[in-house]
Structure 1
């Protein structure tokens, strides 16, 4: 896969959202105005929650500001180190039908409010996820050959240097929302 890239991220449950926003601002990260994202997650045939995600293909349909984006992710080293391909689409419903025709099944709908910033090659997302809480993601895109765990260690060190209350999680938003809804 020449030219393939992987998205490497680390994710944290945020203890004090205001403290995080202040710490990011002190580093020069100006967060965007909030946007609403409506994500539908899909799993490939044969996979179910509780099974490993590494090597499994997942799809997502996202709507934000009336625009739709189709994404496919394949976890490599772990759930947050993925080969990723995405493209805008014109018709969310037709894409949903295409995905389900390929035997992918809808799993969880994730609704969130997101603010973003880019700082020194890092993509920072501050998310308020319905049913799951407040989170920060830090992402970097690297070549498919770069070791995901090493990049995650660098991202984690940067996050910890902010000096705010953060609880790292290896779960994806679909798993976090599904778990939260199961306890309701």
Structure 2
């Protein structure tokens, strides 16, 4: 029997990028070279941003360094505690058509530059997201039986221990970009 895996994350808007980089380096988390990510987000047909996310499936088609990744996430406890499955695909355009045929509609395009580091069992992503700003995500992968909320509390404790200006957000990148692009 295959066990489901959850990706649990916490996300923060960065107040002082240099201070964050220094704090991470002091902990031994050296950030990678930047990579460009071009993501198209998808939602199930019938879902809108006014609707809850928990229990609904969302898809993403990402291009990074010439590779295309197809990801499906289903939020369990909240939008940042998700069952997740991901695979490489060879043709982004054909996968886009397959996703829409499966009953999803495109929502928002998210373009960002990402640097990553690994520290203990955490992945740390420092993202500069077009239209939304600079963010840090701290993630862990756990078995489906583990409480996403408890893991998020642990990750938040680590973030707070860095001692830098961070503002926590529970919004996903597609929601942040959508809000930034909304007419005033």
Short-chain TM bin: over 0.9
Q: Does 1:180 align with 2:172?
A: no
Give the root-mean-square deviation of aligned CA atoms: 0.9
TM-score of the pair, normalised by structure 1: 0.98
Q: Distance in 2 between matches of 1:47 and 1:2?
A: 28
Q: Deviations over 1:118-155 (max 9, x none)?
A: 00010000000000000000000000000000000000
Which consecutive residues of structure 1, in runs of 5 or more, have no partner in the other structure?
A: none
TM-score of the pair, normalised by structure 2: 0.98
The 4+ residue runs of structure 1 with deviation greater than 6 A are none
Q: Does 1:103 align with 2:103?
A: yes
Which residue is 2:62 aligned to? Answer: 62
Which residue is 1:139 aligned to? Answer: 139
- The offset of 1:183, in angstroms, is 4.2
- The offset of 1:73, in angstroms, is 0.1
Q: Deviations over 1:89-132 (max 9, x none)?
A: 00000000001112210000000000000000100000000000
Q: Deviations over 1:5-54 (max 9, x none)?
A: 00000000000111101110011001000000000000001100111000
Q: Deviations over 1:152-176 (max 9, x none)?
A: 0000000000000000000000000
Which consecutive residues of structure 2, in runs of 5 or more, have no partner in the other structure?
A: none
Which residue is 1:115 aligned to? Answer: 115
Which residue is 1:14 aligned to? Answer: 14
